[in-house]
């Protein structure tokens, strides 16, 4: 039994709108799992190793619930192009390079290190369609200390010359990939139909059966932009809305993470809620690709389970604290668009979206709940602009998403282990 005790200012957002602060308090962990938070250290923990974080902030680490790992090499590029040109000029060509395992290892090793350095410890991530590169992703992400889900992409139509696989190949490679990753402990497989237009009915049906038989999670894209929605309507005239093209194959339930949902109207939001589907809101990507402004606050108010995704490389920032501010900005844009009717997201609310909100998707309780493996960052804000007076811990917390960089993140704990 290993007792480790972090001492410092403990800040967390355990539920939407809540902001719990314990100053100069003790976060006790036993074998990497949280025991509790104490203002004074109980005698029974007297033997523990105390990590004194001094005046620093101890906060939950981030969860990035939607991004494309093989698009990391093109981060910040092609932002002047319309979506289809962007896909053809950059995205498909870049993902194609992951046929090369060595290139994949170089990129995924670097990406994993950047994620950890920036305080992201939970991920739900798209690989490319390449089985071997996907195994490399599992290896490098797990080695770096990341946890969560990663998926080999399935795409057997409408995908251009470079990236199409046949339905048979897609099925076979998926099964082989699942066999090959069965021993990973922290990164687990998630079935990943790229999106409805790139997956035949037969492939979708196969994935739906597989999800059910093996109790696997699913990730895909939903209602990101208007032309995509029109395309799905053409492909599935039997579906009155986009989400039904997933639902009819058993790919729309409480283990499903759907990215974007920019154009999910009241009916689609109700379907998301009723089916317990998770939404990954990707505010930076939605602006960069001129997709639209997602009704993020409205979705939350409607009871949809919303989380945050960097969506690199549609998003240009993998730093989830910056995605937190992008979500705030998206909600403020929506407030302007609705003539100041829709509420905006506060810093605490958006921080919750980027941390605790996603924990149940990963089978955990949010924040520093007792019994949960520790997922935390320690932040030193001494290098930030000198304030006019002594700031409260709340104020220090509130400016972090806007101002911090990875240099301020002095320690990262993932699944109970110190990984930075």
Question: 211, 333, 377, 378: which one contacts its own copies (CB under 8 A)?
Answer: 333
The two beta strands, 192-193 and 153-154, are parallel
Does the footprint of its own copies cover residue 285 (CB under 8 A)? Answer: no
The 3-state DSSP class for residue 216 equals coil
**Strands (DSSP E) found in 43-191:** 49-60, 62-68, 120-126, 147-151, 153-154, 187-189
Among 94, 121, 154, 241, binds its own copies (CB under 8 A): 94
Per rule CB under 8 A, is residue 336 in the interface with its own copies? yes
Binding mask 46-85 for its own copies (x = CB under 8 A): --------------------------xxxxxxxxx-----
Residue 350: name the closest of 370, 373, 332, 375 by CA. 332
Nearest distance in Å: CB 333, its own copies: 6
Reference 260, options 222, 205, 229; nearest CA is 222
Asked if 36 touches its own copies (CB under 8 A), the answer is no
d(CA 310, CA 326): 10
Q: How far is the CB of 390 from its own copies (least distance, A)?
A: 12
Q: For residue 88, what is the DSSP state?
A: I
- CB nearer to its own copies: pick between 110 and 418: 110
Nearer to its own copies, 77 or 235 (CB): 77
**CB of 136 vs its own copies, minimal distance in Å:** 15
Subset of residues 110 to 129 that bind its own copies, contact rule: CB under 8 A: 110-111, 114
β-strand pairing of 147-151 with 187-189: parallel
Answer yes or no whether residue 337 interacts with its own copies by CB under 8 A: yes
Unique residue bearing structure tokens 């283990």: 255
- Sheet of 120-126: strand order equals 62-68, 120-126, 147-151, 187-189
The least CB distance from residue 103 to its own copies, in Å, is 7
| Position among 222, 247, 308, 328 found at the interface with its own copies (CB under 8 A) | 328
Q: Name which position in 329, 365, 417, 418 contacts its own copies (CB under 8 A).
A: 329
Span from 43-51, 91-99, 131-139, 263-271 in contact with its own copies (CB under 8 A): 91-99
Q: To the nearest whole angstrom, how small is the minimum distance from the Cβ of residue 72 to its own copies?
A: 5
Angle between helices 131-144 and 101-117 (to 10 degrees): 30
Which of 308/328 has CB closer to its own copies?
A: 328
Total residues interacting with its own copies, rule: CB under 8 A: 51
- Residue 153 has φ and ψ, to the nearest 5°, of -75, 140
Shortest approach of its own copies to residue 301 CB, angstroms? 17
**Interface with its own copies (CB under 8 A), residue from 344, 351, 361, 413:** 344
CB of 153 to its own copies, least distance (A): 17
Minimum CB distance to its own copies smaller for 35 or for 318: 318
371: three-class secondary structure by DSSP = coil
346 binds its own copies (CB under 8 A): yes
Tokens of 356: 């605790």
Please give the sequence-ordered ranges of beta strands (E in DSSP) within 44-195, or none if there are none: 49-60, 62-68, 120-126, 147-151, 153-154, 187-189, 192-193
Candidates 237, 240, 292, 301; CA nearest to 261 is 292
Sign of CA dihedral 304, 284, 259, 152: negative
Spatial separation of the C-alpha atoms in residues 373 and 35, rounded to whole Å? 10
- Range 367-406, binding its own copies (CB under 8 A): 384-389, 395, 398-403, 405
Q: Between 156 and 195, how does the x/- string for binding to its own copies read (CB under 8 A)? A: ----------------------------------------
Rg (CA), the chain: 21
Q: Give 87's Cβ-side CA count (13 Å radius).
A: 10
CB of 381 to its own copies, least distance (A): 10
Chain Cα centroid distance, residue 210: 23
Q: Which residue has the tokens 């993140």?
A: 409
Task: For its own copies, give the closer residue by CB, 1 or 388.
Answer: 388
Kindly tell me which residue out of 218, 347, 364, 411 binds its own copies, with binding defined by CB under 8 A.
Answer: 347
How many C-beta atoms lie closer than 10 Å to residue 8's C-beta? Answer: 24
| Site residues (vs its own copies, CB under 8 A) | 72-80, 93-94, 97, 103, 106-107, 110-111, 114, 287-288, 290, 292-293, 316-317, 325, 328-329, 332-333, 335-337, 340, 344, 346-347, 384-389, 395, 398-403, 405
């Amino acid at each position: 039994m290993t007792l480790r005790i972090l001492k410092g200012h403990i800040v967390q957002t355990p539920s939407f709108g809540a902001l719990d602060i314990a100053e100069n308090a003790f976060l006790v962990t036993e074998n990497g799992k949280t025991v509790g938070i104490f203002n004074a250290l109980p005698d029974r923990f007297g033997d523990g190793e105390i990590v004194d974080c001094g005046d620093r902030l101890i906060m939950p680490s981030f969860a990035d619930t939607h991004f494309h790992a093989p698009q990391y090499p093109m981060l910040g590029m092609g932002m002047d192009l319309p979506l289809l040109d962007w896909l053809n000029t950059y995205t498909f060509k870049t993902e194609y390079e992951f046929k090369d395992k060595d290139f994949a290892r170089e990129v995924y090793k670097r990406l994993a290190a950047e994620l950890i350095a920036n305080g992201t410890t939970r991920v739900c991530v798209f690989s490319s369609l390449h089985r071997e590169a996907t195994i490399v992703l599992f290896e490098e992400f797990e080695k770096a200390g990341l946890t969560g889900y990663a998926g080999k992409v399935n795409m057997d139509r409408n995908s251009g010359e470079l990236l199409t696989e046949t339905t048979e190949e897609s099925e076979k490679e998926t099964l082989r990939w699942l066999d090959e990753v069965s021993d990973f402990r922290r990164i687990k497989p998630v079935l990943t139909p790229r999106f409805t237009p790139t997956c035949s009915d037969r492939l979708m049906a196969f994935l739906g059966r597989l999800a059910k038989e093996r109790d696997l999670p699913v990730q895909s894209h939903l209602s990101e932009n208007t032309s995509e929605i029109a395309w799905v309507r053409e492909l599935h005239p039997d579906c009155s809305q986009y989400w039904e093209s997933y639902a009819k194959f058993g790919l729309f339930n409480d283990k499903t993470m759907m990215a974007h949902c920019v154009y999910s109207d009241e009916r689609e939001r109700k379907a998301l809620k009723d089916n317990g589907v998770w939404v990954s809101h990707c505010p930076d990507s939605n602006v960069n690709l001129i997709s639209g402004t997602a009704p993020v606050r409205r979705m939350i108010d409607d009871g949809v389970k919303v989380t945050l995704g960097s969506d690199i490389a549609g998003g240009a920032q993998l730093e989830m604290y910056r995605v937190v501010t992008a979500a705030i900005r998206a909600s403020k844009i929506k407030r302007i668009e609705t003539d100041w009717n829709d509420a905006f997201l506060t810093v605490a609310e958006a921080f919750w979206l980027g941390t605790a909100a996603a924990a149940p998707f990963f089978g955990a309780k949010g924040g520093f709940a007792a019994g949960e493996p520790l997922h935390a960052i320690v932040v030193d804000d001494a290098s930030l602009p000198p304030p006019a007076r002594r700031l409260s811990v709340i104020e220090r917390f509130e400016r972090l998403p806007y101002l911090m960089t990875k240099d301020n993140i002095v320690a990262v704990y993932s699944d109970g282990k110190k990984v930075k």
